[in-house]
Each structure stands twice: as C-alpha cells, then as structure tokens.
Amino acid sequence: MLGVIDLPTYLAGLVLIVLLPGPNSLYVLSVAARKGVRTGYTAAAGVWCGDTVLMTLSAAGVASLLQANAVLFSIVKYAGAGYLTWLAVGMLRAAWAMWRARREPAVRSAETEEVAGERPFRRALVISLFNPKAILFFVAFFVQFVDPGYAYPALSFVVLGAFAQLASFLYLTALIFSGTRLAAAFRRRKRLSAGATTAAGALFLGFAVKLTLASA
C-alpha cells in the first residue's frame, strides 16, 4: 500500500513504542493536570510538531548524518540533556516551595507561579527536538517498512508518519483527560501535588542522565 510493507507489524510496533513513557508524554500529563484540557492540548501540539520535524529530518537523511558524526551527535545530545535538567530543577524548586507552603491554604503555590510564565507549546516542541535518540529511532524504524523499489518513497514516509501521529494523538488525549482528573485531587491534597511534582522532577533528571549515556 503506497510503498508501505508489512503494515500490521508496523502498527503493532508503533503501539508499543507510543506507550513507552518519555519526557514528552510526562510533560503533557503534567501540564494537563496543572492547567486543564486546553493547555494540555497546546503542549501536545508542540509534541506533534516536534515529531513531524523529526520524521521529516529522518526522511531527509539528517538522522543518518547524526549517526555518522560523533561530534554533532554529542552536541545535540548534551544540549538536550541540559534542557531536560533545567526543566527538572524548575520542577524540584517548585515542589520544595509547595512542601513548605502546604499548610498555608491562602498562599498560591510556587508551581502555579512558575507555570503561569511558561509556554507549553514551545517547551514541548523543544523537548521533542532535542532528542537525538528519537531521530535515530525514527530512521531505523521507518525504513524497515518502506519498499525500496517504490517510485515515491516520500509518500510512504507520509503514510507511516500519519499513523504515528494518529497513535500519538489518541495516547496524549488519554493522558490529557487523565491529567484533568488528577488536578482535582491535587487541589484537595497539597501533599499529593507536591509529591507528584517531586516525582516529575526526578523523572526528568533521569531522562537527562539517560540521554547523556546515549550513543549513536
């Protein structure tokens, strides 16, 4: 079909890949829990745009260039790790302030102050783009399902990318509406909110460490 081979296998692998937790999905869940459905979809749009850019770069062969050039790969890798660390530190600082203020119901949480100034779309987009392992994964996974003899390989990549974005849309939508339910619990229980923010910050630090250990 349009130069795509073994579509059922691709779809099965895609579902497993989309369900794997990562900084993108965690950030969308966090934003939805703090700011609601509309802002959650704003962050999700950043993820989808970032994924589209990565797919386009992969189809154009940029991922292969990163794989072949160790210096360029390291630059992208450490830039991404640094950005994730910066996000983690912000979350942990907000969590610390929330732990200190949890007995003061009239005080607006530091997390709310921090989120008020953030730009979910841009932040989610940057998280997506600074992920060299994702670029390498896209090129390694997609090419297995493109018929090398097909006259229009770009069309094959478009079909595969459309399925990937559909799966991402369904998954992030589920996370967004789950996040809004969590928000109600967070508002009632400040310790739960502070603990969740602490966990999110720790996970982002983990993502940063994992990224620094990544190899081409």
Contact 190/94 with Cβ under 8 angstroms? no
Please give the full DSSP string across 103-156, using - where no structure is assigned. Answer: T-TTSPPHHHHHHHT--HHHHHHHHHHS-HHHHHHHHHHHGGGB-TT-S-HHHH
Residue with tokens 């102050």: 113
Long-range contacts of 13-19 (CB under 8 A, 24+ apart): 13/141, 14/163, 14/164, 14/167, 15/167, 17/137, 17/141, 18/164, 18/167, 18/168, 18/171, 19/171
> Once rounded to an integer, what is the mean pLDDT over residues 70-89?
76
Query: pLDDT tens-digit profile of 23-70?
Result: 888 889 888 887 889 999 999 999 999 989 888 877 777 656 666 677
**What per-residue confidence (pLDDT) applies to 47?**
93
* Residue 135 burial class via C-beta count within 10 angstroms: exposed 0-12, middle 13-18, buried 19 and up: buried
- pTM attached to this predicted model: 0.71
> Once rounded to an integer, what is the mean pLDDT over residues 19-25?
79
What rounded mean pLDDT belongs to the chain? 76
Task: Count each helix (H run) and each strand (E run) in the chain, helices first.
Answer: 10, 0
**What per-residue confidence (pLDDT) applies to 110?**
44
Query: pLDDT tens-digit profile of 83-130?
Result: 778 777 877 887 777 677 655 554 444 444 444 467 899 999 988 887
